[in-house]
């Protein structure tokens, strides 16, 4: 495995912690929550629990790092790249794992490359749990081959896709129309069915139409993911809507999905089983 002391993480949420827990040596990490007195202690506890060397500043985290992985919320991806550009080591690979539109990644690339870094568009194609380092990654851009080698060296399994920065992001954004849209649809369907007292019947009808899918269990899973990660998913779907607009297509479904994800984020379950 490549030298982990040359790796730095920007963002230490669910994904960053999942990755750090897999490595056989501590890596440097910095999260913006370290800057807020209200959240700093909890974030430092996250660093300790997952055996990361938590930095007090972004500059401290990136000093001398040859491989940087940015994995923050979609609405902070560009700001993170702009901040990193000011303290990135010359020639460092900046792997942007964030779920944002191709145009956002292209804007981030311009800043990183103007500062002497090498920007890489990375798309994370499934939840990080339970796969962790085995999560599917697509990589594009002029430094994709270098990034594939570097990411493979620290335990990932990336796949290069031909094309410029934004190609991997485009695949991710359009996939999310379906994946996050189904989450929102099942939430709306089964919350209403439960309130109306017909959730069992609705689930049975759907199971008959889609053999092999347990829609009650799928609805519970999707609702749980929205409740835990809805704010982050809504920010991603805002980027999806922008991607569709950039293609000259309608984005009504993506915007509605963002609205549902945002509305249900953090809400409490109404019973032992949402879909029962």
Please determine, for residue 274, whether its predicted confidence score (pLDDT) is greater than 60.
no
Phi then psi dihedrals of residue 233, to 5 deg: -65, -35
Residue 5 confidence (pLDDT): 83
* pLDDT tens by residue, 55-94: 999 999 999 999 999 999 999 999 999 999 999 999 999 9
Q: Residue 2 above 60 pLDDT?
A: no
The domain spans of the chain are: 4-165, 168-264
Q: How many CB atoms lie within 10 A of CB 118?
A: 22
CATH architecture group of domain 168-264: Orthogonal Bundle (1.10)
Tell me what percent of the residues of the chain surpass a pLDDT of 70.
96
pLDDT at 276: 39
3-class DSSP assignment, residue 55: coil
CB 116 within 8 A of CB 138: no
When pLDDT is cut at 50, 70 and 90, the band that residue 1 belongs to is: very low
pLDDT of 104 higher than 60: yes
pLDDT value for 270? 59
Cβ atoms within 10 A of the Cβ of 184, count? Answer: 25
How confident is the model over 164-202, as pLDDT tens digits?
A: 999 999 999 999 999 999 999 999 999 999 999 999 999
Two structure tokens written together for 19: 């990755």
Q: What is the pLDDT of residue 268?
A: 83
In degrees to the nearest 10, what's the CA dihedral of 138, 143, 149, 154? -70
Task: Tell me what the pLDDT averaged over the chain comes to.
Answer: 94
Kindly state the average pLDDT of the residues 210-224. Answer: 94
| Residue 257: band (very low, low, confident or very high) from pLDDT cuts 50, 70, 90 | very high
pLDDT of residue 275 exceeding 70: no
Q: Are 86 and 112 in contact (CB under 8 A)?
A: no
Structure tokens at 194: 């439960």
Which burial class, exposed, middle or buried, applies to 221 when counting CB atoms under 10 A from its CB (0-12, 13-18, 19+)? middle
Between CA 255 and CA 192 the distance in angstroms is 20
The CATH fold of domain 4-165: Rossmann fold (3.40.50)
| Mean pLDDT along residues 237-261 | 96
Whether the pLDDT of residue 273 is over 50: the answer is no
Q: In the structure encoding, which two tokens stand for residue 52, read together?
A: 């990361």
CA angle, 154 as apex, 153 and 159 as ends, to 5°?
A: 65
Q: How many CA atoms lie within 13 Å of 183's alpha carbon, on the beta-carbon side?
A: 29
Compute how many other C-beta atoms are within 10 angstroms of the C-beta atom of residue 144. 24
């Amino acid at each position: 495995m490549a030298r982990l002391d040359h790796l730095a993480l920007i963002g230490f949420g669910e994904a960053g912690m999942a990755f750090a827990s897999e490595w056989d040596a501590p890596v440097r990490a910095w999260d913006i929550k370290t800057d807020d007195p209200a959240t700093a202690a909890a974030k430092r506890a996250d660093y300790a629990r997952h055996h990361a060397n938590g930095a007090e500043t972004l500059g401290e985290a990136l000093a001398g790092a040859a491989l940087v992985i940015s994995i923050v919320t979609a609405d902070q991806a560009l700001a993170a790249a702009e901040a990193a550009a000011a303290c990135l080591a010359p020639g460092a690979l900046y792997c942007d794992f964030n779920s944002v539109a191709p145009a956002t990644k292209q804007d981030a690339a311009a800043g990183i490359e103007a500062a002497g870094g090498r920007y890489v568009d990375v798309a994370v194609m499934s939840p990080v749990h339970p796969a962790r380092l085995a999560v599917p990654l697509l990589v594009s851009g002029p430094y994709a081959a270098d990034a594939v080698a570097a990411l493979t060296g620290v335990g990932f399994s990336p796949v290069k896709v031909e094309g410029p920065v934004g190609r991997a992001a485009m695949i991710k954004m359009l996939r999310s129309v379906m994946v996050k849209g189904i989450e929102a649809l099942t939430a709306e369907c089964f919350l209403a069915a439960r309130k109306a007292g017909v959730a069992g019947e609705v689930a049975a009808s759907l199971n008959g139409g889609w053999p092999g899918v347990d829609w009650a269990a799928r609805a519970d899973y999707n609702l749980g993911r929205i409740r835990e990660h809805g704010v982050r998913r809504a920010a991603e779907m805002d980027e999806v809507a922008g991607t569709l607009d950039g293609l000259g297509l309608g984005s009504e479904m993506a915007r509605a999905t963002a609205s549902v994800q945002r509305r249900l984020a953090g809400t409490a379950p109404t019973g032992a089983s949402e879909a029962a």
